[in-house]
Amino acid sequence: MTKKIVHLVLFLLCYTTVYSQNSIKGILLENNSKKPLSNVYVSIKNTIFTTKTDLNGAFHIKALSQGNYILEIKFNGFETQNFPLEISNNTIDLGVILLFKDFTDELDLSIITISDDELNNDASAADNISGLLQASKDIFLRTAAFEFSSSFFKVKGLDSGNGKVLINGIQMNKVYDGRAQWSNWGGLNDVLRNQEFSNGLAASNVTFGGILGATNMNTRASLQRPGTRLSYSSSNRSYVHRAMATHTTGISKNGWAMTFSASRRAGVEGFNDGTSYNAYSVFTSIEKKINDHHSINFTGIFTPNRRGKSSPNTQEVFNLKGIEYNEYWGDLNGRKLNARIKEVVEPILMLNHYWDISKNATLQTNASYQFGKIGNSRLDFNGGANPSPTYYQTLPSYFLRRNDLSRAYISQENFVNKGQLDWDRIFDANRTNTNAGLNNAYVLYEDRNDDKQITVNTIYNLEINNHISINGKVEYKQLRSHNFAEVIDLLGGSGYLDINNFADSEVQMQNDILNPNRVVDVGDAFRYNFNLKSDFINAFAQGQFKYNKIDFFAAIKVSQITNQREGLYKNGRFENNSLGASEKINFTNYGIKTGATYKINGRNLIDANVAYVTQAPTIRNSFSNSRENNNIVEDLQSEKVFSADASYIRRSPIITSRVTAYYTSIKDATEISFYFADGVGGDNTAFVQEIVSGIKKKQLGLEFGLEAQVTATIKLKGAAAIGSFVYANNPNLYLTSDVTNEGVFDENGRSGNYRSNLKNYKIAAGPHQAYSAGFEYRDPNYWWIGATVNFFNNTYVDIAPLTRSRNFYSDADGLTFPGYDLESASQLLQQEKFDAYKVVNLVGGKSWKIDGYYISAFATVNNLLNTAYKSGGFEQGRNANYNELSADKALNKPVFGNKYWYGRGTTYFLNLNFSF
Amino acid sequence: MNIKTNSGLLIALATSLFFTTCVKDNDYTVPQNLGVEENLKLEAILDSIQNNQLELKSIKDLKNLYNSGTDPVKIVSNIVVKGYVISSDAKGNYFREFYIQDAPENPTAGIKVVLNLTNSYNKFNFGREVYIRLKNLYIGETNSGDGVISIGGKIKLTDITEIESITQNQIENYIFRAPTTEVIVPKTVTLGGLDNTANIGTFVRIENANFSTNLAGKAFVDPSEDFDTKRQIETCEGPSIVTTFLETSSFASFANNALPAGGGSINAVVSRDFRGDFTVLVLNNLDDLDMKNTRCTPLAIADFSTILLNEDFEATSGEINILDWTNYSEAGSKKWRAYDDANSLSKATRMGSFRSGDESTITWLITKGINLETTGEEYLSFETSTSFADGSILEVLISENWNGTVANITNANWVALPARIAANNDDFNNFKFSTFINLSTYSGTAYIAFKYIGNGNEDFDGTYELDNITIIAK
């Protein structure tokens, strides 16, 4: 910092001369090598004036009006420099400006580490936003990404699908569920640093964005920092080792620029037992500058990765086995082998054309093709006992419920001493069956989504004058998704019979009547098999206006989507509506948003935004039971989202702070869940799909962030999020099942209509309140440390909607259960609120420069005090009525108690970085 | 790219490759040591049997430790029982139980094992040789008095007269598999002889059977039944139809399949229904039914005009003493005696050793010699009833080589005939018809014997009543 000021003063003294024209120029060189830096963005803050340095590192901004400005020089991987300038009919030549490599960006490594850790989890509680926020410099958002994310904190209480992730202007959020699949570009941290983040409703040049904002990652080779970078990391969170190498050529004389990156992440297990990690990443970006107006860039991303998942558990299990416990692994041939592995192999190929039509207009045209597979492995056992070591009949609670103390004790001993998947028994069962000429008892298979997605779009930017710019975009996206189950391994057996044992008749047992009683082998599809087709067109237009006192923008988008399912199997439970194409689901949607920033003065700003967006339901929430039939959710509606926020921002030399109040309401949301329900319509048990529609949610709260540079070396930081996220109505609910004419189900397997009394229940969106306070010390000798204390409160369990409907108190005949007691019922239905907790994190690093080589080391320790805390959880759907639930909750250890995820205990992350 | 960069990348690549070897997350090789530990345990047991540290008991002897309806017996001595699995829960027709019998072929006894394990078929597979260490396990019934003697893990908490499962945790310390799986040959029995308690827990074959006519079009399970459904099956025994039940669980995967309309053979495990009232057959899977042939029709009774034997005991009194008949007490002091039956209001004969004070009781009532050479087809029938048969047994036997002398009774070759004989849980008021027993396979002069066998403890011996012994022929 001090160094910068010295430079600035020097330059101003030497080069400030009076000319007749208002302009600014200068040359940017890399401090160490003294080589010119090209393609560096130079902008005048709060105006639309932006330029880039040429091959010689020179820039020149012309046609400025008189006034005071701040010139900003921003380049990825270098320290940002700001020059306050006063211009009155002169040209300011800043001469040679040296840019210094920024060591603080090593921090990003750990953030991406968080993303690596959490973002690939399927469970909703692990829906993590940190990846989206990593590019932000805002203290609150950085705190949310850094300190809050391991608690599954959700910004504004919203699902991560509300944040859009783009690579080179192409939205990467999955059509299926709206969320970004971070593992598609995991392990490529070095080459994905070039990110632009627009927070919340703020304008982005490339997209309308989501309610939470948008991040656009730019992989253009000419914008990558030239040089070579090697790093090694070690951690006990998810992977154990990470090695990464990146090389960028910089732009050559004949207009070629290239970047290559490769990494490997691996570990036998992370914090949770048996969570293996096995990932490779390869990246290439090649740019050819055809002339001053045209550039073409090719990007290829290939990141095959496999990760062992970990299980949510009941409190009973955690108490016996600890918070690291994971039921999915077992010992096979002396190794921990996880049965539930998520494998993602989805290469991305992208071609981008950059056209500088004129000085003020650009057109970027992008095409991307992504293909490959996502596989989630698991065991199926239509010929064997449930292999889960936490199957309820094996746990002490099951025996305690029957008052069998001796067996409760034995089962506890057994669970504590073993309590893992018994691979040997699984193999033995299959071998035994093979020897007896029978089909497999068990099989290992994966649920597959094989997607092929093509996206083509073009983005137009025009600066009409100093104050007004216009952005526009049109896009077409096509998804063809093949979904099926595939046998991975026969586990010592000879073949697996593709039937559903729970069905009543021979025909109903068939998963595909056209191939009855099929015995499947490795690589065969079975269970279910269908295609999803989605076609999406989308247009976006935006105007941005920047003036001295006020900036404002307005944006609009219109989209049209068509979704369709095509069944490839004729399912025995749904003979008439499983094979062939479903009806097409069409939705036309639009969104409008506008916002303004009023500059009271340079240090105090007020910002306000408002948006109204309609969103087509995701494919996941459109087909009620897509694996088995073509049924579309009844009365399917677009979600209507209204969101508004207002902020006060203060920027003084010492203090930077922001406080924001926000309100978001979501109407007509649809949610589908799948579970095994006991007590549906009396005492029946069934595997059900629960469709809740017309949900209204209300999220309101405050965000606060503050940074105080109290001395040149010490910075204090504070952040707070205080939210209230609730259901705002009592939505409709119905169940479907492949059980017909039993309990509540009619001949089509549909239940009657229920209303779920959700109003005022809390939304399970991580902690509704999160606070952080900490400091950073940066020694002039290039080392630094920091510490934060974080406090979390008001985390709630995800409630089961069915138990909040009349099914809860009605017997099969529709009458209220005898002995139904309103008071104890309301106690049973109270939403569990987790204990508040405190987490302390440490961070520190040092960098060295030796002969033009930069070496940096960086370490974090998370949850220093090893606090055990619940980060999320859900109610099991197995006790759907009063009798079942009260019987279970009356026990000291409920058999079907809530399931939880625990946060990690003390973990470390260590990174060594070498660049030249 | 300069040399420095290249070498850097090479180092990184080398490091990467090094890590590659660490994570074997998809190696599903069949474990090499599968079953090794189990075999060692089994060998230890076999050694202990050799060294007489463990006693190998037959299933028959084991069952004798327990009397139906009494409290479970805890095994406290070091005994082991060996058997062959003859049931399979693969199709869901058994739930947490399997049956073992004492030999792969021609079994003499079988027993049920109740255990807390679903899909036990993929561990204790059909035909598998198993050894059960019995010390600290229980012999008893899961439904007191149902007559299905079982091995269990403990006394039921809610009913001290019954036993419940061997837990999953107990299984590996008590039940041991031998590597061998034998081919189980079903023992062919007639429905008439099915009720013999020795058949319970064995794998049998009934030939020329069909389901009752009134079941046409029905499924194995009646939708209104929550648990088990009994479906009547029939065979033709000479001039009559003999019936019994096939019992199927509503959880069986074939529960809703239609019953076969034709006739043929049934292979099944013999058991008793839930209340212990009926002997039932239980299927392992539908392959055990081969009923595509024609249904049987009984022979016309009018054709059997020749009466080779007809004894109604009306002319008897005191100890039975009929010309050419033998009333012989092989052990104990009691003999067959005539009495007036209050229910049938006629005379009959009976035999019982209750409170006899005798250590052991075996008493024979043997008919006169019957010449089977003059007729082509002969059927024996008789009636029995019982009062507290408990542990005592009545057998009906035939001999072609007995010479008629008392001294030679035990030396002669006696073959058990498949007859329905009243049992402990039959109504004591009623006489039970034996069914017609085909004697066509016998020749020369044959003798029919009714052999009463006490169980060695006269307190548990009851009384058998016998009447109306006839042999018709054509």
The pairing of beta strand A732-737 with beta strand A329-332:
unpaired
B307 neighbors B318 (Cβ within 8 angstroms)? no
Query: Which chain A residue lies closest to B221 (C-alpha atoms)?
Result: A504
Closest listed residue to residue A738, CA positions, set A775, A776, A686: A686
pLDDT at A123: 42
Least CB-CB distance to A268: which of B5, B16, B22?
B22
Q: What is the mean pLDDT of residues B397-419?
A: 93
B23 neighbors A268 (Cβ within 8 angstroms)? yes
Query: B9–A263: do the CB atoms touch at under 8 Å?
Result: no
Query: Which chain B residue lies closest to A433 (C-alpha atoms)?
Result: B122
pLDDT at residue A763 above 90?
yes
Query: B16–A411: do the CB atoms touch at under 8 Å?
Result: no
The separation between the first and the last C-alpha atoms of chain B, rounded to the nearest angstrom, is 109
Q: How far is it, in rounded angstroms, from Cα A457 to Cα A368?
A: 9
Chain A partners of B15 at a C-beta cutoff of 8 Å?
232, 243, 264
pLDDT at B430: 86
Least CB-CB distance to A277: which of B20, B23, B35?
B23
Chain A partners of B1 at a C-beta cutoff of 8 Å?
247, 249
pLDDT at B143: 92
Q: Which of A87-91, A351-355, B175-179 has the lowest mean pLDDT?
A: A87-91
Least CB-CB distance to A432: which of B13, B122, B154?
B122
Query: B35–A335: do the CB atoms touch at under 8 Å?
Result: no
Least CB-CB distance to B23: which of A244, A278, A433?
A278
A356 touches chain B (CB under 8 A): no
Query: Which chain B residue lies closest to A493 (C-alpha atoms)?
Result: B30
Q: What is the mean pLDDT of residues A634-658?
A: 93
How far A688 CA lies from chain B's nearest CA (Å)? Answer: 20
Q: Which residues contact A712 (CB under 8 A, 6 or more apart)?
A: A1, A2
Compute the 3-state secondary structure of chain A and give helix, strand, coil in percent, each to the nearest 5: 15, 50, 40
Q: Positive or negative CA dihedral for A164, A285, A120, A388?
A: positive
Query: Which chain B residue lies closest to A331 (C-alpha atoms)?
Result: B31
Residue A5's pLDDT band (cuts 50, 70, 90):
very low
Chain B partners of A501 at a C-beta cutoff of 8 Å?
92, 253
ipTM: 0.86
Query: B23–A266: do the CB atoms touch at under 8 Å?
Result: yes
A501 touches chain B (CB under 8 A): yes
Amino acid at position A689, single letter: Q
Q: How far is it, in rounded angstroms, from Cα B55 to Cα B51?
A: 9
Query: Which chain B residue lies closest to A423 (C-alpha atoms)?
Result: B31
Q: What is the mean pLDDT of residues B3-22?
A: 56
Q: How far is it, in rounded angstroms, from Cα A848 to Cα A914?
A: 10
pLDDT at B262: 94
Could you give the C-alpha distances from A328 to A323, A417, A780, in angstroms and in order? 14, 16, 49
Chain A partners of B255 at a C-beta cutoff of 8 Å?
504
pLDDT at A492: 94
- Mean pLDDT score of chain B: 90
Query: A230–B257: do the CB atoms touch at under 8 Å?
Result: no
Identify the H or E element spanning A399. Answer: helix A396-401
Least CB-CB distance to A243: which of B4, B15, B29?
B15
Residue A180's pLDDT band (cuts 50, 70, 90):
confident
Residue A779's pLDDT band (cuts 50, 70, 90):
confident
Q: How far is it, in rounded angstroms, from Cα A459 to Cα A474?
A: 7
The pairing of beta strand A341-345 with beta strand A294-302:
unpaired
Rounded-to-10 torsion of CA B11, B15, B16, B22? 170
pLDDT at residue B453 above 70?
yes
pLDDT at A113: 45
Q: What is the mean pLDDT of residues B401-416?
A: 92
Query: B256–A491: do the CB atoms touch at under 8 Å?
Result: no
Neighbours of B322 (CB within 10 A): 16
| Three-state helix/strand/coil letters over A40-54 | CEEEECCCCCEEECC
The A residues from 374 to 393 touching B (CB cutoff 8 Å) are 381, 383-386, 393
pLDDT at A120: 43
Quote the tokens at residue A479: 């998804």
A550 touches chain B (CB under 8 A): no
Q: How far is it, in rounded angstroms, from Cα A150 to Cα A904?
A: 8
Quote the tokens at residue A214: 């948008």
User: What pTM was computed for the model?
Assistant: 0.87
Query: Which chain A residue lies closest to B155 (C-alpha atoms)?
Result: A404
How far B129 CA lies from chain A's nearest CA (Å)? Answer: 13
How far B23 CA lies from chain A's nearest CA (Å)? Answer: 6
Q: How far is it, in rounded angstroms, from Cα B391 to Cα B177?
A: 32
How far B198 CA lies from chain A's nearest CA (Å)? Answer: 28
Q: How far is it, in rounded angstroms, from Cα A660 to Cα A704?
A: 6
How far A250 CA lies from chain B's nearest CA (Å)? Answer: 11
Taking phi over 0 as left and psi of -120 to 50 as alpha, with beta for the rest, B106 belongs to left
A369 touches chain B (CB under 8 A): no
Query: B30–A492: do the CB atoms touch at under 8 Å?
Result: yes
The pairing of beta strand A305-308 with beta strand B432-433:
unpaired
Q: Which residues of B337-375 are buried (b: 16+ CB within 10 A; e: fewer)?
A: ebeebeebeebbbbbbbbeeebebbbbbbbbebbebeeb
Chain A partners of B121 at a C-beta cutoff of 8 Å?
438
Q: Which of A241-255, A423-437, B138-152, B260-274 has the lowest mean pLDDT?
A: A241-255
Query: Which chain B residue lies closest to A431 (C-alpha atoms)?
Result: B122
Identify the H or E element spanning A774. Answer: strand A769-779
Q: How far is it, in rounded angstroms, from Cα A915 to Cα A288?
A: 25
A683 touches chain B (CB under 8 A): no
Could you give the C-alpha distances from A780 to A7, A83, A708, A842, in angstroms and in order? 17, 22, 18, 20
Q: How far is it, in rounded angstroms, from Cα A806 to Cα B271?
A: 45
pLDDT at residue B105 above 90?
yes
Neighbours of B188 (CB within 10 A): 12
A335 touches chain B (CB under 8 A): yes
Amino acid at position A721, single letter: A
Q: How many CB pairs under 8 A join A and B?
A: 144
A755 neighbors A803 (Cβ within 8 angstroms)? no
How far A249 CA lies from chain B's nearest CA (Å)? Answer: 8
Condensed to tens digits (0 to 9), the pLDDT of residues A191-206 reads: 888 888 899 999 999 9
| Three-state helix/strand/coil letters over chain B | CCHHHHHHHHHHHHHHHHHHCCCCCCCCCCCCCCCHHHHHHHHHHHHHHHCCCCEEECHHHHHCCCCCCCCCEECCCCEEEEEEECCCCCCCCCCCEEEEECCCCCCCCEEEEEECCCCHHHCCCCCEEEEEECCCCEEECCCCCCCCCEEECEECCCCCCCEECECHHHHHHHEEEEEEECCCCCEECCHHHHCCHHHCCCEEEEEEEEECHHHCCCECCCCCCCCEEEEEEEEEECCEEEEEEEEEECCCCCCCCECCCCEEEEEEEEEECCCCCCEEEECCCHHHEEEEECCCCCCCHHHCCEEEEEECCCCCCCECCCCCCEEEEEECCCCCEEEEECCCCEEEEEEECCCCCCCCCEEEEECCCEECCCCCCEEEEEEEEEEEEECCEEEEEEECCCCCCHHHCCCCCCEECCCCCCCCCCCCCCCEECCCEECCCCCCEEEEEEEEECCCCHHHEEEEEEEEEEEEEC
How far B77 CA lies from chain A's nearest CA (Å)? Answer: 22
Q: Is A15 helix (H, G, I), strand (E, B) or coil?
A: helix
- Choose between A772 and B5: higher pLDDT: A772
Chain A partners of B34 at a C-beta cutoff of 8 Å?
424, 427-428, 431, 492
A487 touches chain B (CB under 8 A): no
Q: Which of A190, A229, A230, A283 to mutate to test the interface with B (most CBs of B within 10 A)?
A: A230
Condensed to tens digits (0 to 9), the pLDDT of residues A501-518 reads: 888 788 889 999 999 999
Closest listed residue to residue B428, CA positions, set B375, B373, B377, B385: B385
pLDDT at residue A124 above 70?
no
A635 touches chain B (CB under 8 A): no
Strand partners, A305: A279, A344
A308 touches chain B (CB under 8 A): yes
Q: Is A824 exposed, middle or buried (0-12, 13-18, 19+ CB in 10 A)?
A: middle
Query: A230–B12: do the CB atoms touch at under 8 Å?
Result: yes
pLDDT at A104: 54
Q: How far is it, in rounded angstroms, from Cα A248 to Cα A228?
A: 6
A410 touches chain B (CB under 8 A): yes
Q: Which of A417, A424, A439, A497 to mutate to test the interface with B (most CBs of B within 10 A)?
A: A424
The separation between the first and the last C-alpha atoms of chain A, rounded to the nearest angstrom, is 23
pLDDT at A825: 86
pLDDT at residue A184 above 60?
yes
- Mean pLDDT score of chain A: 88
Q: Which of A505, A740, A855, A916 to mutate to test the interface with B (most CBs of B within 10 A)?
A: A505
Condensed to tens digits (0 to 9), the pLDDT of residues A436-449 reads: 999 999 999 999 99
A830 touches chain B (CB under 8 A): no
Rounded-to-10 torsion of CA A745, A746, A751, A752? -130
Q: What is the mean pLDDT of residues B84-101?
A: 95
